[in-house]
Amino acid sequence: MINFEWTGVFPAVTTKFGPDDELDLAAFDKNIAAQLEAGAEGIILGGSLGEASVLTEEEKFTLLKHTLALVEGKVPVILNIAEQTTKAAIAFAKKAYEYGADGLMLLPPMRYKADELETVTFFKEVAKSTPLPIMIYNNPVDYKIEVTLDMFEQLAEVENIQAVKESTRDVINVTRMFNRFGNRFKIFTGVDPIATESLMMGADGWVAGLVDAFPRETVAIYRLVKAGRYDEARAIHRWFLPLLELDIHPKLVQYIKLAEVATGIGTERVRAPRLPLSGEERERVQKVIADALAVRPELPEGSWGKLETAAY
């Protein structure tokens, strides 16, 4: 485990599968290498809207162990927890710590729509069970439980709850969090199409999806905003937006993987019940990707790259 700051672009990476439906670690490694080369500052495994739900626990921890060895401490490796019971979430958190995870991203209880007291208690009990730093994933659109400002007030007393993946899809919530809590929580934007706006409002980082296919462009937007080079960031964002909107569809995994194939750093294989795209839908998504690649912008010098060589 490494000490790290909750800041920068943290790709929520896709899981790669081979023709035998087993983990394809070689393809996975190629994508991680592209993320690190572009300047990603963290890696998140087991994204809950991705394919974590179709992975066995053994596969999740195989990926964790493999990724930790692969990145060699260059960036933190964060493991997502999306469990139905407090007991299972605690067991998962303990095992993640034993395997060497650097941090956790934690969702509210799955399936059961817990009320405020139940949700806060769940978060506190899991946090109490581990020394690992935790990012709360706040996504009421997809998971039906909103972690409100009043709930964060209660969570602020828990030292290792340190960050939030802000996915309410309300850009105003970034400012609400800063106004209420100052810098107590690090705020990561978690919805690709409004990430640039959230960063301009002061978000500390970006848990990104289309970064899996376009790591340099994602890092460039983040760094340009943080450097106050807003016109340059907006120009990339305007080009990127049709692609970023692929991130807010139920088939985001298929869409992102198709984009990864187009940029040469991924494969299209998914695990059932997901199926590869076909017909009109496939043609439509391919057109979005092809249209963007046809006018892919030149990125400003120093706006992406490994941190030790970055211009700012």
Render pLDDT for 176-214 as a digit per residue (tens, 0 to 9): 999 999 999 999 999 999 999 999 999 999 999 999 999
Residue type at 75? Answer: V
Residue 307's pLDDT band, with cuts at 50, 70 and 90, is confident
Angle between helical axes of 86-99 and 57-71 (0-180°, round to 10): 30
Does 283 map to a domain?
no
Which pLDDT tens digit goes with each residue over 119-158?
A: 999 999 999 999 999 999 999 998 899 999 999 999 999 9
**280 belongs to a structural domain:** no
Tell me the one-letter amino acid at 68: L
Which position has the higher pLDDT, 86 or 142? Answer: 86
Do the domain assignments include residue 64? yes
Residue keyed to tokens 């409004």: 194
pLDDT for 309 equals 40
Q: Does a structural domain hold residue 293?
A: no
Q: How many domains does the chain have?
A: 1
User: Do the domain assignments include residue 156?
Assistant: yes
Q: 246-283, pLDDT tens digit by residue? A: 999 999 999 999 999 999 999 999 999 999 999 999 99
296 within some domain:
no
Q: Which of 178, 128, 138, 183 is nearest to 158 (CA)?
A: 128
Contact between residue 299 and residue 309 where contact means Cβ atoms under 8 Å apart: no
In a domain, 299, yes or no: no
Q: Is residue 84 part of a domain?
A: yes
Domain hosting residue 218, numbered range: 8-238
The answer, yes or no, to whether residue 312 has pLDDT greater than 70, is no
Q: For position 141, which CATH number holds?
A: 3.20.20.70
